[in-house]
């Protein structure tokens, strides 16, 4: 249910058949990449370019799909990590994928991503203890230099300039609120009981008037972290755990 939808301009809306597992944002190129997982172990990836209003990936998957997961996206390159086995949470392996060219730039399944900084991709070999870190080139994975443990603090992970709501948490779920003020708008996510079921809503107000409402989740059993954020003048939220929704604000 959406009310007053015409008051906001839709930016990007996409839905998958599974659960949205992870979202990554490219601050420089204004890309969003997200991972979807189904109960039958299908993993697919989606990507959208907000600057050029272009879908880059839709229901895209690699050969060893279940063992791969989205790590980060930087300057148009999405980095995926692998796992040692289906039953192991231990990460091992990297695939660097050019989103616009839709091709693998480089891959290495003997190392693991520690973090991605402005200087390059910081990695280590999980088989070697104590850990020894190396800095690799973004686009081809070539060796740049070794990084000592003492030098790790000099490398800061690339982040995103996004705005998160403030959580006003109470013991009762119906009194929990997420609130963010942005561009003369008050954006509020809250819980409401209807016909014995608790639903989660998002509401936008301006000058004390409601300009937009939508249901984020239906039949809520407990408070979760499915809420919203603002990034590059975009309101972005996950709907029913299966859909990315965004509007210009």
- What tens digit of pLDDT does each residue of 87-128 get? 666 778 999 999 999 999 999 989 999 999 999 999 999 888
What is the edge-to-edge ordering of all strands in the sheet holding 228-231? 9-15, 243-248, 234-239, 228-231, 162-163
CATH topology of domain 17-154: Lipocalin (2.40.128)
Give the confidence band of 212 by pLDDT, cuts at 50, 70, 90: very high
% of the chain residues with pLDDT over 90: 74
* pLDDT tops 70 at residue 8: yes
Q: Is the pTM of this model over 0.85?
A: yes
For 162-195, write each residue's pLDDT tens digit.
999 999 888 888 899 999 999 999 999 999 998 8
How far, in whole angstroms, is CA 216 from its chain's centroid? 17
Kindly write down the DSSP assignment for every residue of 171-197, as one continuous string. Answer: SSGGG-EEEEEETTEEEEEEEEEETTE
For 39-79, write each residue's pLDDT tens digit.
988 999 999 999 999 999 999 998 766 678 999 999 999 99
Give the confidence band of 84 by pLDDT, cuts at 50, 70, 90: confident
Phi, psi angles (nearest 5°) of residue 103: -145, 155
Per-residue b or e along 69-93, where b marks 16 or more CB atoms closer than 10 Å to that residue's CB: bbbbbbebbbbbbbbeeeeeeebbb
Which residues make up the CATH 2.40.128.630 domain(s) of the chain?
A: 17-154
């Amino acid at each position: 249910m959406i009310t007053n939808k015409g008051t906001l301009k839709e930016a990007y809306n996409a839905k998958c058949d599974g659960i949205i597992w992870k979202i990554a944002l490219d601050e420089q190129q204004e890309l969003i990449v997200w991972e979807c997982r189904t109960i039958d172990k299908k993993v697919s990836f989606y990507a959208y370019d907000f600057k050029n209003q272009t879908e880059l990936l839709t229901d895209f998957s690699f050969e060893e799909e279940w063992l791969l997961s989205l790590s980060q996206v930087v300057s148009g390159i999405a980095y995926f990590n692998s796992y040692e086995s289906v039953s192991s949470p231990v990460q091992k392996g990297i695939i660097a994928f050019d989103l616009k060219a839709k091709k693998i730039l480089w891959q290495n399944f003997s190392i693991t991503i520690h973090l991605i900084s402005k200087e390059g991709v910081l990695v280590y070999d999980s088989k070697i203890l104590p850990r020894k870190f190396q800095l690799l080139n973004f686009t081809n994975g070539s060796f740049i230099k070794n990084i000592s443990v003492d030098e790790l603090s000099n490398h800061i992970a690339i982040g995103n300039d996004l705005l998160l709501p403030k959580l006003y948490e109470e013991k009762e779920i119906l009194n929990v609120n997420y609130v963010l003020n942005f561009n003369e708008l008050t954006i509020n996510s809250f819980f409401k009981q209807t016909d014995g079921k608790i639903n989660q809503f998002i509401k936008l107000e301006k000058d004390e008037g409601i300009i937009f409402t939508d249901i984020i989740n239906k039949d809520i059993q407990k408070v979760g972290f499915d809420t919203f954020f603002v990034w590059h003048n975009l309101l972005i939220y996950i709907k029913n755990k299966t859909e990315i929704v965004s509007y210009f604000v």
